[in-house]
Structure 1
Amino acid sequence: MFFRSSAFRSAIKSRVGRIAAAGAATAIAISLSASPASADSYKYIYLPSGRGYFEFIDNGDTFQLCDTKADGQGVSAYLIRRDPLNNKQTFVVTMDDGGDSSCATKTYNINDYYDYQMGVWWHGDGTIYSNDWFHE
């Protein structure tokens, strides 16, 4: 009988082995792509030419603005809060850091009711760089 033959058993074992291997590979790929922390736990915007950056650190709801070049121009940043019910936008944090290659920090409590957007610019050209809206 074919069902008892060694060829059939080998074919079944081979097929089961391939399915198990594919399942294991899929599980590994999913676990490696998933972040252990919230996607919004750390946000940052870098200015071109290494002029500075603006970052949000979820641990303590800290915003840090850094001017990384002592070029005398300085950098500025803002945080906008948007109400999802009426789309009203309000500046809740504004920061400046002078052209001396240093950092400034502020704390602001981010909550999950509002959406937020960060923006930063170098005083030398005034071009604003912003991130996508986010919430906690």
Structure 2
Amino acid sequence: MIKQLGSFAIAGAAIAAVVVGASTPAMAAESGIQDTDKKISLPDGRGTMTYIDDGDMFVVCDTRADGHGVTGQLRKNASGFPTMIEVTDGGDAGCDKKGYNVGNHLGEEYSMWLWWDGGGDPVLSGWFNE
């Protein structure tokens, strides 16, 4: 009987370890520890726009020396999709950046729009908030 209880105790401890281990990622996600940075890229490696959640920073990079820069905008999901900020890059070393406090209010969503200044349609991110 004692050997049998010992076996049940060991099995119970193993199950508890699996349950605790399985719940750790869910607990991390619920506590806000998750990657919410976003990045969009133009075709042919022409440029990128990145949202860095830690500090609410938007970084636009012209990644091709083709005589044209790139323009990124942060737009709000509201009537007319108003532009909240605009960041351009091109003709100089490094990327350009600008901060904007992205809200986390219910129904308040934003999208990044990125253009190659040589023409064509923009690349859009999905809608997001904090």
TM-score in terms of structure 1 length: 0.70
Q: In terms of Rg, which structure is larger?
A: 1
1:96 maps to a residue whose letter is: T
RMSD across aligned positions (CA): 2.9
Q: Partner of 1:73: helix, strand, or coil?
A: coil
1:80 aligns with 2:37: no
Which 5+ residue runs of structure 1 have no aligned equivalent? none
Residue 75 and residue 28 in structure 1: after superposition, are their counterparts in 2 closer, same or farther (change >3 A)?
same
Residue 101 and residue 49 in structure 1: after superposition, are their counterparts in 2 closer, same or farther (change >3 A)?
farther
Corresponding residue for residue 40 of structure 2 = 45
Match of 2:83 among 62, 71, 91: 91
1:24 aligns with 2:20: yes
Residue 33 and residue 122 in structure 1: after superposition, are their counterparts in 2 closer, same or farther (change >3 A)?
same
Shift of 1:117: 0.5
Q: Deviations over 1:11-55 (max 9, x none)?
A: 312331232222232134435666854654x32223344322112
Which 5+ residue runs of structure 2 have no aligned equivalent? none
Shift of 1:81: 0.9
Aligned residues: 128
Shift of 1:61: 3.1
